[in-house]
Amino acid sequence: MPQNIILIGYRCTGKTTVGRLLAQRLNWPFADVDDRIEAVAGRSIKDIFATEGEPGFRDREAAALTELCAQPGRVIATGGGAVMRESNRAALKTSGYVVWLTAAPETVWERLQTDPTTAARRPNLTPTGGEEEVRALILAREQVYRAVADFAIASDTVSPDGIADAILTSWNGYSTSPSFSGA
């Protein structure tokens, strides 16, 4: 059985919420890569982007992901763009059962608008920002998410508890072939 359960997906697809539920059920520690980056840097992701640019942030993200993936028996929530680096994809695939949480762009945009931490913690990733950015980045990352994932589930049609149940069922019956549910 894989040593970790690792959640991937775009912003606001429920990785942290579902990750905490899974960790409680498994009695494992929960780790959020973005939280780890901010703790080590002593500042927000938005501040890191402003001072170091996206490349500096992505280097910090890779270091945090490598550190967390090396510690077995945990649930890890990644940042939405972590899968875009090949070395990160390799770390994900070799250190855990990778679950892709999906959601429609409209759902993600609505969640971003109502998340009180988004504006303070997370920068726009494209010049356009807004719902156009959400659509463009989900589309650009979809094939990469799919290639890395062992299991996928839509987080805009199932409750967090239902998602956790589905992940645990899939993880317990894990085989070498990916399983996609509603993605």
Name residues whose C-beta falls within 8 Å of residue 117's C-beta, 6 or more positions apart in sequence.
Answer: none
Span 18-53, pLDDT tens digits: 999 999 999 999 999 999 999 999 999 989 989 999
Span 88-113, pLDDT tens digits: 999 999 999 999 999 999 998 888 88
pTM equals: 0.89
The residue type of 29 is: P
Question: How far apart, in Å, do the first and last CA atoms of the chain sit?
Answer: 23
User: How many other C-beta atoms lie within 10 A of the C-beta of residue 128?
Assistant: 12
CATH code for the domain in which residue 127 is found: 3.40.50.300
Token pair, residue 36, equals 């780890």
pLDDT band at 16 (very low <50, low <70, confident <90, very high): very high
Buried b (16+ CB within 10 A) or exposed e, 83-111: bbbeebbebbbebbbbbbbbbebebbbbb
pLDDT band at 130 (very low <50, low <70, confident <90, very high): confident
HEC string of the chain?
Answer: CCCCEEEECCCCCCHHHHHHHHHHHHCCCEEEHHHHHHHHHCCCHHHHHHHHHHHHHHHHHHHHHHHHHCCCCCEEECCCCHHHCHHHHHHHHHHCEEEEEECCHHHHHHHHHHCCCHHHHCCCCCCCCHHHHHHHHHHHHHHHHHHHCCEEEECCCCCHHHHHHHHHHHHHCCCCCCEEECC
Whose CA is closest to 153, among 178, 126, 122, 117? 178
Whose CA is closest to 151, among 36, 37, 9? 9
Range of the domain at 91: 5-181
If one counts the domains in the chain, the total is 1
Predicted confidence (pLDDT) at residue 163 exceeds the cutoff of 70: yes
pLDDT of residue 182: 46
